[in-house]
Structure 1
Amino acid sequence: MTHDTRVRSRVGVGLLVALGAAFSFGMSGAWARGLIDAGWTPGAAVAARVWVAALILLVPTILTMRGRWTLLRRNAGMIIAYGLLAVTATQLFYFQAVAVMDVGIALLIEYTAPVAVVLWLWLRRGEKPTGRSILGAVIAFVGLVLMLDILTGARVDGGGILWALGAMVGAATYFVLSAREDTGLPPIALAGVGLLLGAVGLTIAGLLGILPMAWSFDDVAYRFGTVPWFVPVLAIGLLATALAYVLGIASTRILGSRLASFVALAEVVAAMLFGWMLLDQQPAGIQLIGAVLVLVGVVVVKLGEPAVAEEPLVIV
């Protein structure tokens, strides 16, 4: 009985930490939209976010990697793919999407990533999805159609949808790479190195003119009023990235990847909440129905996954 009480207490703490991670990640889009509306390009907003988070996680990464630096050379290809695709591309495409559409809708499109993972494993490895996974994918697709409000003839920003789908591909890449058990890399080290690599890559792309970079030091307007430019920058880098990664790592070590990934769906609710609080973005009724169907579809897809041994997994 004492053991059961400890287990329940540990799970309870893990759930609180996982919810904290989801809400931390969920606030990024709303803060970034304020910067973009104030004259920042999405590339500049992402670069600021990634640099702040990378510098904050630099010391923990170094401490974690002491005596294991050879792992970086051994896994160089995977680390580069993780930094450029799973971290940088995901965040950049998401910020590009929120520049032209509601943050909650953009994130919901990104969160169809588990469906893409199932499809990838089927095509690449021949891991045929279960009937439940197929049903979940269909439900999520129907929800996506309703969420984009296509049936009522509403104006849909095609570019925003493509950017959000690009973020979905990046997130799917993240899940595939994070599930690898043969790297030996601690989760916090993979996150720290990936963020640092992404920050350097974004900076080089900006210097070469490949990625438009523009900043503004004017005050940034939100629903509650205006704040200095560094407030949203610190909020995105410190709260929505560095803290979110740390909480995500801690929660997955307590709960395991399967349960933690379910709780991470709360990030979508958080994104919509912060979109309303900071930007006064309110989805239409049919979009809310579609959002619910997308979440239900993703949950059904995950329930259809074959049971595997739990491994630590960082939540993006």
Structure 2
Amino acid sequence: MNSSHDRARSWVGVGYVLLAATLFSVNGTVSKLVMATGLSSLRLVEIRCLGAALLFAVIATWRRPGSLRIGRRELGFVCVYGVVGLALVQWLYLVAMTRMPVSISLLIEFTAPLLIALWVRYVRKEPVRRRIWVALVLTLAGLALVAQVWAGLTLDAVGVTAASLAAVALAAYYLLGERGLARRDPWSLAAWSFAAAAVFWALLQPWWTYPFAQLGVDVGLRGGGTGPLVPTWLLVGWVVVLGTLVPFALVLTALTRIGATRVGLVGTAEPPLAGLVAWAAIGETLTTVQIVGGAVVLAGIVLAESARAPQSTEALPAEGLAG
């Protein structure tokens, strides 16, 4: 009886992650449509972080009053965590996908699990399974196929650099998340980290200079600005609620059911899902060789995600932050 219950609970957790990955994938394309109206990637990240911070703070307070209390020392930690792991990850990803297909941007960013395993092995000196070396070869080979290096680098250099830096920042988010979750619950941690990211962007770009008039511009839901028209503010609302709050909530719930390692493994469905969404919505296409390369990269990611020793502390999964 307990075994059946555990299996059902496990499958529900897997379903949560797949739904979250789907929402994150759709969010990539929605964000690209928003930026096509002229709203910059910096401004989109700024409003996304503020909206998510407010919503997570409300939920955290509702779930457990007083959970948002924080000490001075921890405040410094969440500031670094929010700026590096959220603000920079999201901005760098948006920069990458404005210059490259969404799916390729995600594939490069999703090398973060490989970076994590290498950090754990050589910096922390913790045991890592030998499969990490196979994962390294697969990931590098797959990226070479995606980039079609034999024909000269066909991807935008700025886009590749932004996606690669996003992978580094995402790895930092994952590693710092272990420390953060040891001190407080995921909901209040999300609220504080998004708040730190929101303050960071507000200092760089004060809200009184925000181009609110841009939110009233209509945008077509197909590539090239064609298709049904909707106001930009509606798409921005999607980014905040269905592209951030809901998928993050699904991932947090799944963590309690199947653990971080399995959440991360299932979450690797996001890059191919993002490619399908971008193809259906805005007509982005990949060559057969690039599709094969993407599959090879995903195989390396799966190995890298499972390469950490089983006794390692669980953390927030790497998937979803880019979306």
TM-score normalized with structure 2 length? 0.90
2:139 matched to which residue of 1?
A: 140
2:189 aligns with: 190
Alignment of 1:151 onto 2:154 = no
The CA distance in 1 between the partners of 2:274 and 2:210, in whole Å, is 25
Shift of 1:196: 1.5
Give a deviation string over 1:98-128, Cα, whole Å, max 9, x none: 1111111101111000111122223422336
CA contact (8 A) 1:253 1:312 kept: no
The Cα of 1:129 is off from its aligned counterpart by 4.0
Structure 1 pair 208–23 and aligned structure 2 pair: CA distance change class (3 A): closer
Q: Distance in 1 between matches of 2:20 and 2:6?
A: 21
CA distance in 2, matches of 1:13, 1:68: 27
Q: Deviations over 1:68-89 (max 9, x none)?
A: 5554434223211211011110
Give the partner amino acid of 1:115. Answer: L
- Residue matched to 1:235: 238
Matches of 2:279 and 2:246 in 1, distance apart?
22
Q: Contact (CA 8 Å) 2:139, 2:297: kept in 1 or not?
A: yes
CA distance in 1, matches of 2:261, 2:165: 24
CA distance in 2, matches of 1:182, 1:164: 26
Is 1:30 the counterpart of 2:29 in the alignment?
A: yes
Q: What letter corresponds to residue 283 of structure 1 in structure 2?
A: L
SS of 2:107's equivalent in the other structure is helix
Hey, what does 1:58 align to over in structure 2?
A: 57
Counterparts of 1:114-133 in structure 2 under 5 Å? 114-127=113-126, 129-133=128-132
- The 10-residue stretch of structure 1 (13-22 or 58-67) with the greater mean CA deviation from structure 2: 58-67
Secondary structure at the aligned position of 1:204 is classed as: helix
State how far apart, in whole Å, the 2-side matches of 1:290 and 1:67 are: 48
Structural RMSD (CA): 2.2
Distance 2:229 2:181 in 1: 48
Q: Is the 8 A contact 1:65 1:189 kept in 2?
A: no
Higher mean alpha-carbon deviation, 222-231 vs 167-176, is at: 222-231
Taking the aligned partners of 1:276 and 1:68, their CA distance within structure 2 comes to 42
Distance 1:141 1:214 in 2: 41
Structure 1: gaps spanning 5 or more residues = none
The farther-off stretch of 20-29 and 290-299 is 20-29
**Where do 5+ consecutive residues of structure 2 fail to align?**
none
Distance 1:69 1:17 in 2: 26
Task: Give me the whole-angstrom Cα distance separating, in 2, the residues matched to 1:12 and 1:129.
Answer: 27
- 1:141-168 superposed Cα distances (whole Å, 9 cap, x missing partner): 1111111222223632100001111111
Aligned residue for 1:127, secondary structure, equals coil
Letter in 1 for 2:235: P
Q: Tell me, in whole angstroms, the C-alpha distance in 2 between the residues paired with 1:65 and 1:71.
A: 14
Q: Does 1:256 align with 2:259?
A: yes
- How far apart are the structure 1 equivalents of 2:180 and 2:84? 19
From 301, 304, 312, give the equivalent of 2:304.
Answer: 301
Following superposition, the deviation at residue 213 of structure 1 comes to 6.4
Change beyond 3 A, Cα 1:63–1:312: farther
Q: CA deviation at 1:136?
A: 0.4
State whether residues 258 and 310 of structure 1, in contact with CA within 8 Å, keep that contact through their aligned partners in structure 2: no
- 1:43 is displaced (CA, Å) by 0.3
Q: Where does residue 247 of structure 1 map in the other structure?
A: 250
Which residue is equivalent to 1:105?
Answer: 104
SS at match of 1:125: coil
Q: In the TM superposition, what is the alpha-carbon distance from 1:206 to its structure 2 partner?
A: 1.0
CA contact (8 A) 2:278 2:284 kept: yes
Q: Which amino acid aligns with 1:259?
A: R
The 3-state SS of whatever aligns with 2:30 is helix
Q: Which residue of 2 aligns with 1:89?
A: 88
Contact 2:18–2:269 (8 Å) recurs in 1: yes
- Give the counterpart letter for 1:238 in structure 2: V
Per mean C-alpha deviation after superposition, the further-off stretch among 296-305 and 256-265 is: 296-305
3-state DSSP of counterpart to 1:44? helix
Give % identity.
27
Give the deviation of 1:65 after TM superposition. Answer: 5.7
The corresponding residue for 1:174 is: 173
The 5 A counterparts of 1:258-297 are 258-297=261-300
Paired position in structure 2 for 1:9: 8
**Which stretch shows the higher mean deviation, 57-66 or 103-112?**
57-66
Q: In 1, are the aligned partners of 2:261 and 2:306 still within 8 Å (CA)?
A: no
| Corresponding letter in the other structure for 1:165 | S
Separation in 1, partners of 2:121, 2:302: 18
